[in-house]
Amino acid sequence: PFLVMEYLEGESLADRLDRCERLPEEEMRHLARELLDALAAAHTQGVVHRDIKPENIHILAPGRDGERVKLLDFGISSKADEALYKLTQTGSVLGTPHYMSPEQARGDAELDHRIDLYAVGVVLYECVVGEVPFDAPNYNRLIRMIIEEEPLPPRQRGAVISDKTEQFIMWALEKEPALRVHSAEAMLDWLERTGRGE
């Protein structure tokens, strides 16, 4: 038996952030459009990724249409109609801690695609700030921060972005799912409209 996989040239977003630390606003917005387009396609099929992070976002070598993004590693993804989003047998929550939504961090029994949208917000925050919204010396403190503390707006941490882009990122980082952006399509629409100056 063997597995055939596509060979991808380019680099991960994690590698780019290691090299550049922060991305310019327009570059971040372009990568966000690409990422959200891929995520919208997955969500339309009822698939929730559950592990959105820079290591799983691959930036392809530029082609005629500029840089494109591929969303990788659906290893812990789930279909929305399955019995899913439970704690693992060891009691840990699936996903990478820094990119977990508050509801994931709490271990809520029923989660949906909005956990991916929160993770996108963390990734975009990291793109413009150079650091994730929350960090701590240990896992328990980090989980508590994600659940209880409000993230500082990116511009208060030195991000050079517009007010609208900051609002966009903070919208994705709402702690309560009901207040968070409701879909990847809505995020894409917002990017398109603000890109046109609306």
Q: Using CA atoms, how far apart are residues 115 and 107, in angstroms rounded to an integer?
A: 12
Q: Are 116 and 52 in contact (CB under 8 A)?
A: yes
Which amino acid is it at 136? A
Mention every residue, 6+ apart, whose C-beta is less than 8 A from residue 8: 58, 60, 70
- Cα–Cα distance measured from residue 155 to residue 34, given in angstroms and rounded to the nearest whole number: 23
- Catalytically annotated residues: 51
Q: What sign does the CA torsion over 94, 97, 100, 103 have?
A: positive
Which residues contact residue 139 at a Cβ distance below 8 angstroms, ignoring those fewer than 6 apart?
97
